[in-house]
Structure 1
């Protein structure tokens, strides 16, 4: 046998050994297993599947407005498509879009100074959360975040290697945080504090005193703040939105998150934006360049039109949300076994306590969908602070909300011995 043949046989034998030792698929990175999905998405998928089967499902689970995007906004995007605006634009948004965002932020938050060069536009609000945490947090850091709160906070913190530190929002306090609790949780390891007002899933709005306290603590810890203000234009009963960034020396350490999805019924357009401190603009923008590059220019055209829309044009939508809130609140508080601690002051959500029915919130939500065709969310999707609660979205018509509440009443009545 020639030397070449011997080498070939030895190679084949080595390959067979390696194949036997490395059976199955290659391993994935540990960090890929850290990020979790969102419970909301699974419930939405189930509700959609039931609808496809011909079942009448009242959709009270998702924060997707039933309003259509206003025609003048859609027309701007269509015009941009016909004009050929289908090519790359700068990461973080075109100069004109960034100027439009800056002007909008200043108009809706009197006293704020928004530099267009510090605005980054992204495909939705979630990338602002992800890019902020990725830019500032690492192993050894701690991040304080609201509980119950938007699920993306906790899982992204864990992905970054930092330690999530939940700040409990309790029914008894109107789903505001206790000032002494925030002071207790804050430490030299605190790298970021996340606030959300109006809140998802709580519908609570932080007071001036709450924001003053958070600003004081953030400066004492020398940490960053992510202020999730995506529902800032959806506040009710004559209240005016406030921002921690308006406090002295806070703009330079605060990321303001906002977008078009909720205020203008543009959830599917995927256009969010952040106003970043100067030091965070480049790292956040570099994350954009290396992931999604830019927002579609025709979407940007629609967003520019939306952001310039006069307040009186969008006011009826906010008033309708307030009417829907009142309807749901008033019907739920009359159901024995269900309590609602807070009439929401903003956003499009209400948290109802179902422990009086003798059921867990998870089982309540599952059976309500399966047996009565009403989709709601288990509060545990939003953290341990949501245990025993269900989140109800009042983003549907009053007729559908009334039907959903009636079915909830019937379901609870069926549980009585």
Structure 2
């Protein structure tokens, strides 16, 4: 089952690819449209982005200073660490997880990785074999699709409820077959901004238990929910121990996307197997980035609240601007993360065509919904991680563009 949205982006870029001699596992995956649209925009010039999920905030100063001190004073700061990561960092991660109700052994159940993306790829490669089916609530994060395909698994898309982007538990249950191996879940949800209900997550856990499935839980945005809500983590359920692989990231919580550091929590039996891939692919996460992650966990946490407050204002701003374009878009107000899926009201226009016209004619970057699976078609994903001025400029451009009735020509 292919990811047509991403493939369309590659076609749009004008590139031609040699496939002779290239492995099937590589030739059947693509770079996601999330990365391709900014590349296209860089060739056009003068574009404003509501595309890739890069928060505008600088890495907090206390993190930067701690790394600078280590680079000056610690001769080991430029050397490899142990494969699973610095012991002090794994202990700090375990304490942080424990404060959230997740009991983890820092020596046996935690590995520091090159971002959550490495952890997710290793998780899928560890448990998915050729022909195994993997359930993906749809729309879903584009790279999850490619990770399943890379493992030669079969993505099985189960639609979220369209009215509020929540899990459809019964449809997930009905999608399970003897070939189902795992469920991959991102919560809070990229790309829709949903925060899944605890009752539905507990029901999903029960489906996994009843059918001997793994749950791969992408918890990159666990800190970012709105309106006084709580984010429920499947990792807190003791009955899932031995079945859950949970991945976490420092990228968004501490404005550290470029540091490329995250971590994975799994039982010792699973993590030992994942470590084989980790060793073969990366040896260890960059030491300098691990030092930054340690400073993030040990330092003041008011920076996280400041990021959360700023993103709350940006969520409200992008919703207000969408409300001024009711003839162009419908949307569900995000409950978490910093994305929303806007359904455009132009029948007969596929999402890649819409995104490319928006890019070329309005100079605004959005991500075509089809990149997030079949249930993303007729939508475009907008990120509100950028500065308020950037959001305002993007919507000013779109308002001028729509005023010219681009889809009636």
Taking structure 2 as the reference length, what is the TM-score of the superposition? 0.91
Moved more, 122-131 or 238-247: 238-247
Aligned: 1:98 with 2:90: yes
Structure 1: state its 5+ residue gaps: 1-23
Take 1:338 and 1:220, find their aligned partners in 2: how far apart are those partners? 44
For residues 292-331 of structure 1, what are the alpha-carbon distances to aligned partners after superposition, in whole Å with 9 as ceiling and x for unaligned?
Answer: 1011212111100112334433201101101101110111
Matches within 5 A, 1:93-172: 93-107=85-99, 109=100, 111-117=101-107, 118-172=109-163
Partner of 1:384: 374
The aligned residue for residue 27 of structure 1 is 21
Alpha-carbon distance, 1:365 to partner: 1.4
Does the alignment pair 1:267 with 2:257? yes
1:214-293 matched pairs, under 5 angstroms? 214-293=204-283
The answer on whether the counterparts of 2:330 and 2:345 sit within 8 Å (CA) in structure 1 is no
What corresponds to 1:17 in structure 2? Answer: none
Normalising by the residue count of structure 1, what TM-score does the alignment of the two structures yield? 0.89
2:50 paired residue number: 60
Report the CA distance shift for 1:50/1:147 in structure 2 as closer, same or farther (over 3 A): same
- What is residue 173 of structure 2 aligned with on the other side? 183
Tell me if the contact between 1:191 and 1:223 (Cα under 8 Å) persists in the aligned partners.
Answer: yes
Alignment of 1:294-333 (within 5 A): 294-333=284-323
SS for the counterpart of 1:222 is coil
| Residues 1:44 and 2:34 aligned together | no
Match runs of 1:368-407 below 5 Å:
368-407=358-397
Deviations 1:151-182 (A, max 9, x none): 2211221222222111212422x111211101
Q: Secondary structure at the match of 2:130?
A: coil
Question: In structure 2, do the counterparts of structure 1 residues 356 and 26 end up closer, same or farther at CA, with 3 Å as the change threshold?
Answer: closer
* 2:34–2:367 CA contact under 8 A, matched in 1: yes
Deviations along 1:249-303, whole A, 9 cap, x unmatched? Answer: 1133111111100111100000011101221111111111111101121211110
CA contact (8 A) 1:64 1:267 kept: yes
Q: CA deviation at 1:141?
A: 1.9
In 2, Cα distance between equivalents of 1:270 and 1:301 = 12
Query: 1:106 and 1:338 mapped to 2: Cα distance?
Result: 45
Q: Which residue of 1 aligns with 2:6?
A: none
Residue 155 of structure 1 aligns to a residue whose secondary structure is helix
Quick check: 1:337–1:356 contact (8 Å CA) kept in 2? no
1:361–1:25: structure 2 CA closer, same or farther, 3 Å change rule?
Answer: closer
Q: Decide whether the 8 Å contact of 1:142 with 1:165 is kept in 2.
A: yes
Larger of the two Rg values belongs to structure:
1
1:87 aligned onto 2:87: no
